[in-house]
Amino acid sequence: MESAIGIDLGTTFSCVATIKPNGKPTVIANFDGHNVTPSVVAYPTSKTLEPLVGKSAVKSSVPLENIIYDSKRFIGRQYNDESVQEDMKSWPFEIINDKGKPLVKLTHNNEEKKLAAEEISAEVLKMMKKVAKKSLPNEQKVTRAVITVPAHFDQRQRHSTMEAAKLAGIEVIRLVNEPTAVAIAYGVHNQGKKNVFIYDLGGGGQDFDRIIADYALENFKNFPRNNPKMMRRLIEECTEAKITLSCHGTATIFVDNPASDDGWKLILSRDKLNQLIGKKLYGTLSIVDKTLRTAKMKKTNIDIVILAGGSTRILMVQDLLEKKFGKDKVWNKHNPDEVVAKGAALVAKSLTNSSSDSLQLYFNDIVPLSIGQKIYGNKMLVAIPRGTKYPCKFEQNTITSEDNQSFIPFTIYEDKNGILNVTSIETANGNRASIQIQYDGCSHKDVIFQ
């Protein structure tokens, strides 16, 4: 007997959920008793030891360059991507360029290894699988899951996420966009015809932690900025302070000094936090406005605003959204760290239970980036526009740019830059050929040539 689960494979934390007999989604606590697990993997340098995952990785004595986090930020990306290059400036682990792909170079069990983001994420998924297994009856296996991804993930990133699941021994029933999972967890499908806006501020909260850390460093004399372990400790303290300020007016940042009995201490107020990160929070409102324009809506058209992601606990976030949309429209009744996994579990239940009285969900995600064909003049002829509901397919008939051309080269682009497929096919009827592009958000083989 098998049990399907929902997994939120997060940038900072990951979470797994299943469905209770009463039909309600429930998050499964990990082996430390917490509902969320840090998406961190530590690789011991010596001895024959398995990688450590979660809190044990964060608290381990493993050298900092062997403690890997943020794998979601470079999964499915290229080494030269601007975001990867920017993130590398703050990562203590080594990233190398392997034929255009970013790999983590480290020593594990006395052997030099080069690890892709998929391999690192697979360790987190293995842990989620173990966590789920311990809560289920002995006869139930955990081999299938619905896994969530950011709505903006392109096809490479989605495919790489599926590869990570495969390495973890998990069959992906479906990839679901995180905002869609949030909406399902909140039961918006039971609310009638409503316009729902999902505001998700999750892994980006690390940017706030770094801003707080920079402020702390301005106040800490002789702090060893070049010591990666001490800097990591400072970031952890800043993260805790940010969380504390969601409930209290002040928080203490304290880092021990191993060289003396003294340490570095700073009292941070909520007002100061708002001052430090306010510019970035106001910046998210421009993204809100852009999203509304893309949807061809005004803020008055929105009936419900749902908060997701741990950083939405910051009271300033809630205040800004309540002022923009109206207090009564902003919903935050679910734990923002857990709501995505709950939605994924509901989708898993819907897709795997065939009984007539089981949960039935019907929804479509949308294509995050336009997909099309490179044509004469290095232009892109869009086949599937951004925002199209999927699964979907589109067929294009193409003619050669020159007479008596035997083959037509096809280069399929995603948003003008990400190449999905390159091939050439023989022309038919003199100088014509057709191409069928289909998209389901999961499969990597989405191009059919005829």
Pairing of strands 371-375, 407-414: antiparallel
Of 42, 10, 429, residue with least CA distance to 200: 10
- The DSSP call for residue 312 is G
Among 8, 70, 118, 163, which one carries the catalytic annotation? 8
Using a 10 angstrom Cβ sphere, with 0-12 exposed, 13-18 middle and 19 or more buried, the burial of residue 237 is buried
Query: Could you give the CA distance from residue 402 to residue 136 in angstroms, rounded to a whole number?
Result: 64
Query: Could you give the CA distance from residue 384 to residue 446 in angstroms, rounded to a whole number?
Result: 12
Amino acid in the structure at residue 114: K
State yes or no: is 72 an active-site residue: yes
State yes or no: is 379 an active-site residue: no
Among 70, 119, 154, 200, which one carries the catalytic annotation? 200
Query: Could you give the CA distance from residue 340 to residue 308 in angstroms, rounded to a whole number?
Result: 8
Among 119, 163, 178, 365, which one carries the catalytic annotation? 178
| H-type alpha helices, 326-440 | 339-352
State yes or no: is 178 an active-site residue: yes
- The DSSP call for residue 391 is S
**Terminal C-alpha separation, the chain:** 42
Other Cβ atoms less than 10 A from the Cβ of 4: the count is: 23
State yes or no: is 415 an active-site residue: no
Among 70, 72, 119, 123, which one carries the catalytic annotation? 72
Query: Could you give the CA distance from residue 28 to residue 164 in angstroms, rounded to a whole number?
Result: 21
- The DSSP call for residue 428 is B
Provide φ and ψ at 236, rounded to 5°.
Answer: -60, -40
CA-angle at 435, arms to 431 and 437, nearest 5°: 165
Name, in order, each residue with C-beta under 8 angstroms of 114's C-beta and a sequence gap of 6 or more. 96, 98, 103, 104, 105
Bridge partners (DSSP) of residue 439 are: 392
> Which positions are annotated as active-site residues?
8, 72, 178, 200
